[in-house]
Amino acid sequence: MTLRLFRYLAKEVLVSTAGVTLILLLVILSGRFTSYLGRVAEGKMTFEFLFIILGYHIPSFVQMIMPLAFFLSLLLAFGRLYIENEMSVLFSSGISKVKLAGYTLGIALLISLFSGTINLWLAPASEYKAAEASEQQNQLSTFDFLIPGRFEGNGQRTTYIESFTPDEGWMNQIFISDFIRQNGQSIPVQTFAANAEQLRISSKGDQNYLVFKDGTRYEGQPGTAEYRITQFDTYAVRMENQASPPIDEPYTQSTLALIKSDRKIDKIELQWRISLIIIIPILAIIGLSLSQVNPRQGRFFKMLPAILIMILYLALLIWGRTGLEKGKLPMQFGLWWIHGLFMLLAAFLFAQYNQVFQRRKAKLPNTLETDDAL
């Protein structure tokens, strides 16, 4: 009976959690996809990289969604059981609310294990891969983002190519408009070439060059006779290399590295990851206590106060993290005091849910009647 009941409750909550997580994840991904698509249109990101970076960010999205999805699913699932009088049948069968809390914490433990795997291992590893991919993307030159038949750039700096030759990597019929600084003046420069390609020379470190074939270069101010026209068979321009900064952001570091680190920012990140796990069982007790509704009230009667409590919890954690990073809160307290406050709130709500106060109030009239008789 006990195992069957736990499986039944776990199925109700876990299926709802998976559904809510998927819906919220799709909402977040659609927003990010739109943002990244704008960068692709601006020539700042390749279309293939868009899906790569989204895939790497999914674990980080899930770690933030999971507590919210579990809490909402718990309210919806248990609220339905109350509305359909299934909870009344359980209580009449000898299942106490304390035992129901134990089942709820058991379900929360399963979610916490899953969330811990994401928070402590998968999300940091994925964020590190995302940072590596971003660095590789930043190493690409402007010519890697060009779209044939379209002018790219703004104002004086404009680039156009007619087509690509994929096998050889050639750019055909290329036009580049730029300017150079001479004697404190900006001198416009236009380059036309039949073909061009990017070459990397590794003799003294990696050096990138753009090599033009069969073209003409014009230097000079429009409307004046001071023009320099250069016709060439081969013309190479050295391209600037961007140094790759080290990937040492706290959210990209492994949990073991954070534990060994003495940096304040790493300690805060470690507390944040643990907080996203601790929050789940605390929200489980709060959700259990606020899910009890009267069938006449409807299953959504206590949803609003429950959601407000959850939002306040998350908002305080974010505020606490920001305060720790800016030095406005002492590191001795960290984020633990916030969890302590909501643990007290969860205990208070569960005491009311378990009718502790109602039982005490029920004894008061009997006591008064005895005093009157005396």
pLDDT at 372: 47
Band (354; pLDDT cuts 50, 70, 90): confident
Tens digit of each residue's pLDDT (9 = 90 or more) over 60-85: 999 999 999 999 999 999 988 888 88
**How far, in Å, are 152, 236, 278 from residue 197 at the CA level?**
17, 10, 55
Length of the chain: 374
Residue 362 or residue 333, greater confidence: 333
Tens digit of each residue's pLDDT (9 = 90 or more) over 6-44: 999 999 999 999 999 999 999 999 988 888 887 776 666
Q: Is the model's pLDDT at 315 over the cut of 60?
A: yes
Average pLDDT rounded to a whole number, residues 255-284 = 95
Percentage of residues in the chain having pLDDT higher than 70:
82
Q: What is the DSSP string of 36-50?
A: HHHHHHTTSS-HHHH
Phi, psi of 92 (to 5 degrees): -70, -20
Domain boundaries, the chain: 2-138+247-362, 145-239
Percentage of residues in the chain having pLDDT higher than 90:
42
Q: In what order do the strands lie in the sheet with 152-154?
A: 152-154, 157-165, 170-182, 185-201, 207-219, 228-239
Say what the pTM is: 0.75
Tens digit of each residue's pLDDT (9 = 90 or more) over 114-171: 999 999 999 999 999 988 887 776 655 556 656 677 777 666 677 778 877 766 667 8
Contacts of 44 (CB under 8 A, 6+ apart): 145
Tens digit of each residue's pLDDT (9 = 90 or more) over 213-237: 888 888 887 767 677 888 888 878 7
Tens digit of each residue's pLDDT (9 = 90 or more) over 278-302: 999 999 999 999 988 776 666 666 7
Band (203; pLDDT cuts 50, 70, 90): low
Tell me whether strands 152-154 and 228-239 are parallel, antiparallel or unpaired.
unpaired
Structure tokens given for 29: 């991904």
Tell me whether strands 157-165 and 185-201 are parallel, antiparallel or unpaired.
unpaired
Q: Is the model's pLDDT at 242 over the cut of 80?
A: no
Tens digit of each residue's pLDDT (9 = 90 or more) over 324-334: 999 999 998 99
